[in-house]
Amino acid sequence: MADQQLDVFDSDDEEERLFQALSAFKTMVRNLVERTGLSTNEFERMHNFGDGKVSTWATAKRTGPNIPPLRFVEDLAIEAQERGGLQDEAAVLFQQQYGELLKMYCARKVPHNTHRQMLAEYQDTMLIRELNTAMNAAHNTMVRIAAELETLREDRDGERQRRLALQQQLAALRAENDRWAADKHAALVRRDRVRAELAGYERGQQPDVRHEPAVDLGGSHAHHLQTAPALAPGTLKRFPASIKVAGATAAAVVLVFAGIGMGQVFGKNTPSGTSEGKGTTTTSPPQTPSPEPSTQQPADEATPTRTQAAPKPLAVGDLNFTGANWVQGTWTLNGRKYGKSLAWVQPCAGSENVVIRLPRASQHFTAEVGFAEGEGGEHKYTAQFDVWADRDGDGHGGSDELVSSRGVTFDKPATLAIDDLRGASQIILSIHTSDCIAAPLVWGSPQVS
């Protein structure tokens, strides 16, 4: 794809601040690519980006910023964590700076349409994460209330009053959860539309050079959650629950970029150079003053054996997924708790799909599937769990893409161990049931590798 041409700025100072922020961000990109131990060509092949795109996204140019898409930022953070031991805090910072950089470019007098689309995708992704966390918390609270209701009797005055209060609280939570689900669905629809428009940019096609606003980045967000839930340590393989990108000034962002030592942020194991066949193959213009990564690291940090090491399995619950009626959390199947699970929490006579974009081509999938224990139900209930290797990436399971189908009953979960994802970079998990059930239908701790 051709360069995104910079617009005319109001002053030379404004242009310089933008270029400093861009240069600092792309220094982060180069350092993280090197940390993965992958060459730019290898990274592009693994994640289906256009030829030469990684080098372009890692190089700062005054005549065309070439800001990378969100999918690249997410994939790079995950690869650096899995292959290079990148700390969660550094991954958070990297993704925060991406959002801040987009806001800076969209705050120009005449912002580029592609940058506006990228910012819209980023903001909707933040909102979806925030809503997922809130819906998980609401679900856990509703389960606790339902369990307490089971212990209270109607024929005792004190317990009857408690039951009434709990029932009112439960009704309010359900109404709030339904509203959040509607907001999440709307955000997913918006994000999917923008992603479809940006797909060509990832593959190297010509950009949309219009500069008029094409997406609504404003409007009232009073219906959004006001407080972002805290991010549990060790859980970041995607964005934190909420990152507010509004209100930061260009000068403040540049200070954040330049004021934090790269070696400190990315740890002492950050490679200081590019070995043969690895890292970026291009050079960048002179960078703004910022501390360079430490060069004191073991000589074998970027050796070929590092690149060839088999990456650890990825928890599907940590990845980007699209599906309005799905909740992430911990559920019990066959007496065992499964964390980072995905559940259809109110299944009723139909099917629900969740589409999951994988950060790399994968062959293996594992999960425990079934009805969540302790949620109420009957032994006659049944459900079917299907896995599709969505090789064409259209979000729909074709007849030749089904790789597993397993039926379960209410009291008998099943184990899935699939070795035929066929190198897919996207999978679809589907559940079908003919019953209306109180118990969630669960993909327990699904993983891909």
- Torsion angle, CA of 356/178/126/186, rounded to 10 degrees? 80
Beta bridge partners of 352: 431
Q: What is the Cα–Cα distance from 376 to 273, expressed in whole angstroms?
A: 58
> DSSP of 264-291, one letter per residue?
HHH-TT--SS--TTSB-SS--PPPPS-P
Report the predicted TM-score, pTM, of the whole model to 2 decimal places: 0.56
Fold of 314-448: Jelly Rolls (2.60.120)
Amino acid identity for residue 381 in this structure: Y
| Rg (the chain; Cα; Å) | 24
3-state secondary structure 310-352: CCCCEEHHHCCEECCCEEEEEEEECCEEEEEEEEECCCEEEEE
- Nearest partner of 322 among 160, 145, 195, judged by Cα: 195
Torsion sign across C-alpha atoms 264, 268, 270, 275: positive
The helix or strand, by DSSP H or E, that contains position 354, with its residue range, turns out to be strand 348-362
How many angstroms separate the CA atoms of 153 and 323, rounded?
A: 38
Tell me if 65 sits within 8 A of 105, measured CB to CB: yes
From first to last of the 449 residues of the chain, give the pLDDT tens digit: 444 443 444 567 888 888 999 999 999 999 999 999 999 999 988 888 888 999 999 999 888 888 999 989 988 998 898 899 998 888 888 988 999 999 999 998 888 899 999 999 999 988 887 887 787 788 778 878 888 888 887 667 778 888 888 889 888 888 888 888 888 888 878 888 888 888 777 776 554 444 444 444 443 333 344 333 333 333 333 333 333 333 344 444 443 444 444 444 554 444 333 333 333 333 333 343 333 333 333 333 333 344 445 567 888 887 877 777 788 888 899 888 898 899 998 888 788 889 998 888 888 899 999 999 876 656 678 889 999 898 878 788 877 788 888 889 888 899 999 888 888 888 999 999 888 888 899 999 999 98
d(C-alpha 268, C-alpha 262), whole Å: 9
Structure confidence at residue 392 (pLDDT): 79
Q: Would you say 108 and 7 are in contact if contact means Cβ atoms under 8 Å apart?
A: yes
Quick one: pLDDT at residue 371? 92
Tokens read off for 48: 């289906």
DSSP string, 156-184: SHHHHHHHHHHHHHHHHHHHHHHHHHHHH
Cα 413 from Cα 369, distance rounded (Å): 6
Using the structure block, give the residue that is written with the tokens 């800076």: 104
CA angle 170, 176, 182 (to 5 degrees): 135
Q: How far apart are CA 237 and CA 87, in angstroms?
A: 10
DSSP of 365-402, one letter per residue? EEEEEEEPTTS---TT-EEEEEEEE-TT-SSS--TTTE
Structure-block tokens of residue 280: 């970026």
Structure tokens at 266: 């990315």
Read off the amino acid at residue 332. Answer: T
Q: Give CA separation, 56 vs 96, 165, 244, 276, in Å.
A: 21, 59, 27, 19
How would you label 331-353 residue by residue, b for 16+ Cβ within 10 Å and e otherwise?
A: bbbeeeebebbbbbbbbeeeebb
> Which H or E run contains 81?
helix 70-84
Looking only at the bridges linking them, the beta strands covering 441-448 and 314-315 are: antiparallel
Amino acid symbol at 304: P
Instruction: Report the distance separating Cα 80 and Cα 74, nearest Å.
Output: 10
The whole-number pLDDT of residue 345 equals: 86
> What's the pLDDT score for residue 205?
57
3-state helix, strand, coil in the chain (%, to 5): 40, 20, 40
Domain-wise residue ranges, the chain:
12-126+194-308, 314-448
Neighbouring-strand partners of residue 414? 369
Q: What is the pLDDT of residue 369?
A: 95
Whole-angstrom CA distances from 65 to 21, 49, 61, 73, 111 are 11, 18, 6, 15, 12
